[in-house]
Amino acid sequence: MAELTELVEHRPRTVLAAFLAVHALVWTALPALLYYNLPLDVIEAMTYGREWQLGYDKLPPLPWFLGEIAYRLTGLDASLYALSQAAVIVAFIAVWMTARPLVGAAGALAALLIIDGMHYFNLSAVKLNHNVVEMPLWALAGFAFHAGLRDGRLRHWILLGVALGLAWWAKYFVVILAAPLALFLLFDPEARRRLAAPGPWIAAIVTIVVAAPNLYWLWQHGSQPFGYAEARAAAPSGVLDHLTHPLEFAGGQGFFLLPALLIAAPLVWPPAKPAPGPRADVFDRRIVTLLAFGPALTLFAFSLVTGRATNAMWGFPLWLFLGLWIVLFAPAALDRARLLRIGLIWAVVFLIFVAAFCADYLVLPHFDHRYRAAFFPGDRLSEAITQRFADATGKKPPYIIGSMWDGGNVAHYTNERPQPRVLVDGMPDRAPWIDLADLRKRGAIVVWTEGDPHVLPPQLAAAAAGAQIGVPFDLPYHRGDGVVHVGWAILPPQTGN
């Protein structure tokens, strides 16, 4: 046990690197080995990312840009799982940098092990999406905010602005972080003194400058993405929702925190004499408390006041600094025995998460017959659809009309370059970069896997007038006994083109 603590304190970067390597390797390898098909969020990234728009109808584009870059560089689906883990690793490093000056290397390691007990950082982080990409930016913002308040260096305030600006590009949800940070600057007596210096104001300016292109796009295109967010936060149906919705949020997050709290238990039990004076002072403790609970309380208050529902997955970035807060306020010193117990409990929780992931994709499909997007035959669907268009026209399809899932799979798994463009749901508003005149001129293939495969869905038919319906066909899932019933139609190229 003595060697463990000494190793952490004397070679902290080695220990941190080992932890990060294990985490990244495992949670990159598992989906790469067990997923036959990219998840919906990643298919969406592949569909939207290559269009390089400043804004989209649902969410800001940074995660989709990053996914497109990773895939173009490697051509491997596994690179997208690795990119998700890179985001988690950067978040962990930012938390470590915040924690180490306050609780030492051993305490910083314990803080990371504690938060790694939440599914947000492992089971749910294998899918590249906006929740995953916002985590490192929130963590960097937290690090920079604490450092800026403590030492006032301009570089930290600039980093805060860059992190918040990029977080806006990742997910508009960043306002849940920015609001408590701003309120802390206004109402904390010691933090307020920094407002007399240029640092916080420079951070605000940098934030606006970094976010400006997307803000301009929103000004040009209206509030379409906020309509998506509003739909996710369902409006209250009665006065009681002002109480039930925030309580549902708190209960769900509390449940997700249970493994993390179990890992942290050795800091409380068995009881011990109070720890010696911490490196952190009272101001540090207030800042860490803000970072640990401010965004969650802001979201709780939002739900309480508006009565709107919340989404459990919004918890991804909320608890980044919870482990640090627990270590900082622990009643007992983090001695060798407690650190070892924290490490052992984390290892057990880690293995349980790994076992659960493996069971979900290797064992349970034989019993529950539940739909799993990871088994969808996207590659076979793409091959079959593109071949049918080629047989009918002598060309590969330049456009696909279909849902995000169906059209996105066909476009992603085709071997053709450039990949066909997707008119999502047959709605020009969802893909305004597509020239409908060019689509009609060059032709398109329509694909759907829900409803009657013999009947062209009305929503898709509106964008494909004159499409010729083909003979439906079935495709088996890659694993399990599921079958996809595929309907398709061809909108032939205009004669002479």
Whether the per-residue pLDDT at 150 is higher than 80: the answer is yes
Whether the per-residue pLDDT at 277 is higher than 60: the answer is no
Tell me the C-alpha distance between 5 and 10, whole Å.
8
Asked if 334 contacts 304 with a C-beta cutoff of 8 angstroms, the reply is no
Query: By three-state DSSP, how is residue 402 classified?
Result: strand
Average pLDDT over residues 454-476: 93
Tell me the C-alpha distance between 415 and 409, whole Å.
12
- Amino acid, res. 63: P
Tell me the C-alpha distance between 55 and 278, whole Å.
46
With CA atoms as reference, report the closest residue to 307 among 381, 237, 228, 226. 237
| Paired sense of beta strands 444-448 and 399-402, if any | parallel
Question: What's the pLDDT tens digit per position in 59-109?
Answer: 999 999 999 999 999 999 999 999 999 999 999 999 999 999 999 888 999
- Amino acid, res. 406: D
Tell me the C-alpha distance between 149 and 34, whole Å.
45
pLDDT-derived band at 486 (thresholds 50, 70, 90) equals: very high
Whether the per-residue pLDDT at 2 is higher than 80: the answer is no
Q: Comparing 122-126, 164-168, 243-247, which segment has the lowest mean pLDDT?
A: 243-247
DSSP 8-state assignment for residue 120: G
pLDDT-derived band at 435 (thresholds 50, 70, 90) equals: very high
- Amino acid, res. 88: V
With CA atoms as reference, report the closest residue to 284 among 334, 321, 328. 328
Tell me the C-alpha distance between 74 and 378, whole Å.
19
Query: By three-state DSSP, how is residue 309 classified?
Result: coil
pLDDT-derived band at 369 (thresholds 50, 70, 90) equals: confident
With CA atoms as reference, report the closest residue to 419 among 429, 409, 428. 409
Tell me the C-alpha distance between 355 and 352, whole Å.
5
Per cent of the chain over pLDDT 90 is 76
Domain 376-491 has CATH 3.40.50: yes
Query: By three-state DSSP, how is residue 351 classified?
Result: helix
Domain boundaries, the chain: 2-362, 376-491
Q: What is the mean pLDDT of the chain?
A: 92
What residues contact residue 491 under an 8 Å CB cut-off, 6+ apart?
401, 439, 440, 443, 444, 445, 446, 464, 466, 467, 468
Whether the per-residue pLDDT at 212 is higher than 60: the answer is yes
pLDDT of residue 280: 76
pLDDT-derived band at 481 (thresholds 50, 70, 90) equals: confident
pLDDT of residue 278: 56
pLDDT of residue 387: 95
